[in-house]
Amino acid sequence: MTVSAAHYEVYMTTMTPAEWAEVPDNPRQRDTEKRAMQAKHLCRLEAAHLLVHMAEWPGGRCKLEGHTRSKVWSDKPEIAPEQVDVRVYVVASEDDAKRLYGHFNSREEGETATDRMFGAMRECGIDPQSTFVRSAKFSNAVRTAFAYLCGASSSTHTEEASSKVGVIKGNVYDAVDEFANEIKALDRMDVSKHRAFGAVVCCYLMAYRKHGDQVNEFFARYMADAGQKDGKLKDCVQLFADAMEAFRLVGASGFQPMNEACRTGLACIDRWIKTPDAKFSRSPKCNPFQYLD
């Protein structure tokens, strides 16, 4: 949820680019280095670049936007202006500054789901090392896992719970905060983006919450395409892989394809935890809304 900047007391000041660089980044700021490398329009100074926005509260302050410009000017001081105009919003707390950040970056800088995902990880102290997690392209997966978690006690019927998903998913900041430890574990796995699409990541987050490091071998086998087949019988890794491939081939957005893949995927993981070498002719199913009960 974003808030209106009109709700706060505002005053103007000026700073040099060096002074602006000293203002801390917003806790929800996205991948500034990546944005700076892509910001070709900032290589030429324009009048519109000379106004930046900052939040200030008792004992603290942070940028509301202008992070990318600050990075570019620090790297290329020859194109930096002599000073910038700073519009300062007087807020009550850092939490207000984080909410106000959404106002500027959603409306003025075209913030994407990936930007918000990266900002949410940054806010939670997650410093991604793997290429996949740093890409921050799994917002829907973590929000779906959050919906399953929050909906687990609200309904015992899948259809009823599914109808609430749009409401339960909430914002990505809440979801990442809830699954921060699981995202850090995913980062340590260093998975391939070609195998770790939405339903796979959602299953990993939930299964790691339930079983901890026990699931890492399962996912390592899946990533290595090491599922086993014996005629019509398949082990749980292969059944999981088949379900994820079916999800990928559907290529549809929306909750139902994701839910169907997770129904099978989570059940396969639980079966494998109990009997890793067992093989089955049919895929097991479970209710993801009750998985973490």
Of residues 211 and 48, more confidence is placed in: 211
Q: How far is CA 254 from CA 46, 141, 147, 166, 260, in A?
A: 41, 11, 13, 10, 11
The answer, yes or no, to whether residue 11 has pLDDT greater than 90, is no
Name the pLDDT band for 110 (thresholds 50, 70, 90): very low
The answer, yes or no, to whether residue 150 has pLDDT greater than 60, is yes
Q: What was the pLDDT predicted at 155? A: 41
Name the pLDDT band for 38 (thresholds 50, 70, 90): low
Name the pLDDT band for 62 (thresholds 50, 70, 90): very high
Tell me the whole-structure pTM to 2 decimals: 0.66
Q: What was the pLDDT predicted at 158? A: 46
Please tell me the distance from the alpha carbon of residue 196 to that of residue 140, in angstroms, as a whole number: 13
The answer, yes or no, to whether residue 30 has pLDDT greater than 80, is no
With 0-12 CB in 10 A as exposed, 13-18 as middle and 19+ as buried, what is 130? middle
